[in-house]
Structure formats: C-alpha cells, structure tokens
Amino acid sequence: GNAGQANYAAAKASLMGWAAAAGAPPRVNVVAPGFIESAMTAKMPAVPRFFGARLNALGRPGAPEDVAGLIAHLVSPASAGVRGQTIRCCGGFWG
C-alpha cells in the first residue's frame, strides 16, 4: 500500500502471513496485484497514477485480466504443487 492506505497494507500483509502458515496441506496461496487499472486506481491523483501505471516491465498498467489469468492457473490442476506462496502480479514493478 501507499501513504494513506494502512488498512489496505495491513489486510494484504495478514493474507500473506496466513498463506505461509497454512500452505500445507491445504492448497492456499495469495495473489498480490500491483498497479491494476480499477475504480480504486482511477481515484488516484494524475501524476502518481501515471508513474504507477508505467514503472513496470510491461510499461502499462496491469489489467484485471492479468490477475484473472493467474488465478485461473492457481485453481487448475497444473498448480497443485504451489502452496503457501504469495505471487505478485504486477508486471515486474521496478519501484
């Protein structure tokens, strides 16, 4: 989270700790999206929104479909061995 987002940052940190503690035997993982274009990011001031959207390897803001694709993989049999992980979905944030 950023300044003024203590509740968001605390919730995210809590989920990360929970996944690490509960990672085996249940299949528990956390997806940690970075800058994803959404109603929340649309309310940000223009300058931070501009840089937040471009300071990653993709050079564009993340899309909800980016996160959905990761989640679809995590619920598929192909990821059965992925447990207790926090997976960032942020386009390779450089900040």
Residues with catalytic function? 8
Alpha-carbon distance of 36 to 21, in angstroms, equals: 27
Peptide bond into 25 cis (omega under 30): yes
Alpha-carbon distance of 51 to 69, in angstroms, equals: 24
- Token readout for 3 is 């300044």
Go through the chain and tell me how many residues it has: 95
Chain centre distance of CA 50: 18
